[in-house]
């Protein structure tokens, strides 16, 4: 590759990276965000290694410099993510937050995508049963609206998370329980978890599925594949979610994902293994759009 071609490549990757970053900041698309991160990584690698090569600051070849620049960004982002995980471990934010009834109501934003979502939910026969909220220090951490289908065999929890655009990012979670006690959960939650699930939970996480219709179809297909009778839940969403959060916390404390409470003040909520798992899942979610499963 000659000098002119290298300069054109750097310029092209810079424009591509900026364009994708601009679009991903305005469109709620995990796939676009993943492309933006890859474009940024390649731009930094080519720009860093290419500029050193063009300036002739070292006798190393272009391929070697590009590889070193690629690895350098990996180290930088790894350090940043590790510090973020450490900060989470030491923060007051609960990893398995409790919920309470949201006395302020649903508070749906008046955007077209939210209006279309509510219309689709009603069309599919889902009825709202509860509105929940989780708070930290009196401030809202997240809100959840819970629905149930007519047969009461599928629950839909819509999680509303505030985002940097001043709006909300939505996550959907479908849950069904079979007569034998198997719990099917199909969601598109994009937050890293990294912990352990109970053995009778069959969790499938699809963070790239942003369509509630597509996610519902996938959940129904999993129900059909299990070929069991599904039963109505005997708990309200508030009771069920808080019981589940408590069960997850106990399980992950027993299996070494969380520290014992006596050591939290000194070493944080997460064990070294727990921090490593979350760090790993940040990478798989950020660059592959896939979550990990530990059971």
pLDDT band at 167 (very low <50, low <70, confident <90, very high): low
Query: pLDDT grade, residue 226 (50/70/90)?
Result: very high
Distance CA 274, CA 248 (A): 14
Segment 35-89, tens digit of pLDDT = 999 999 999 999 998 888 888 888 888 889 999 999 999 999 999 999 999 999 9
List the domain boundaries for the chain: 3-90, 100-288
pLDDT band, residue 165 (cuts 50/70/90): low
Judge residue 194's burial from the number of C-beta atoms within 10 Å of its C-beta, 0-12 exposed, 13-18 middle, 19 or more buried: buried
Residues in the chain: 295
- Token output for 50: 């290419």
How far is 20 from 40, CA to CA, in rounded Å?
9
* Token duo for residue 153: 């065999």
Q: Which residues pair with 101 in a beta bridge?
A: 132
**Average pLDDT, integer, range 136-150:** 87
**CA-based nearest residue to 183, from 198, 200, 199, 196:** 200
Q: Judging by beta carbons within 10 Å of its beta carbon (0-12, 13-18, 19+), is residue 1 exposed, middle or buried?
A: exposed
């Amino acid at each position: 590759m000659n000098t002119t071609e290298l300069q054109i490549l750097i310029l092209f990757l810079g424009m591509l990276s900026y364009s994708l970053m601009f679009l991903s900041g305005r469109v709620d698309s995990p796939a676009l965000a993943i492309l933006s991160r890859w474009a940024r990584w390649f731009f930094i690698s080519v720009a860093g290694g290419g500029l050193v090569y063009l300036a002739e600051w070292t006798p190393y070849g272009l391929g070697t410099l590009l590889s070193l620049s690629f690895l350098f960004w990996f180290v930088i982002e790894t350090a940043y993510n590790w510090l973020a995980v450490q900060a989470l471990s030491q923060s007051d934010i609960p990893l398995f937050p409790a919920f309470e009834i949201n006395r302020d109501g649903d508070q749906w934003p008046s955007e077209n995508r939210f209006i279309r979502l509510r219309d689709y939910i009603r069309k599919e026969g889902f009825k709202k049963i509860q509105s929940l909220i989780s708070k930290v220090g009196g401030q809202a951490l997240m809100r959840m609206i819970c629905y149930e289908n007519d047969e009461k065999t599928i629950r839909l929890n819509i999680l509303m998370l505030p985002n940097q655009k001043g709006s909300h990012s939505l996550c959907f979670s479908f849950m069904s329980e079979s007569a034998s006690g198997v719990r099917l959960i199909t969601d598109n939650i994009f937050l890293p978890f990294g912990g352990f699930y109970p053995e009778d939970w069959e969790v499938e996480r699809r963070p790239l599925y942003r369509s509630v219709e597509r996610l519902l179809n996938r959940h129904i297909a999993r129900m059909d594949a299990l070929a069991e009778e599904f039963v109505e839940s005997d708990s309200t969403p508030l009771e069920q979610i808080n019981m589940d959060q408590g069960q997850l916390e106990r399980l992950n404390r027993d299996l070494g994902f969380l520290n014992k409470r006596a050591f939290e003040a000194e070493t944080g909520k997460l064990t070294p293994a727990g921090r490593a798992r979350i760090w790993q899942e940040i990478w798989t979610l950020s660059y592959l759009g896939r979550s990990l499963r530990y059971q």
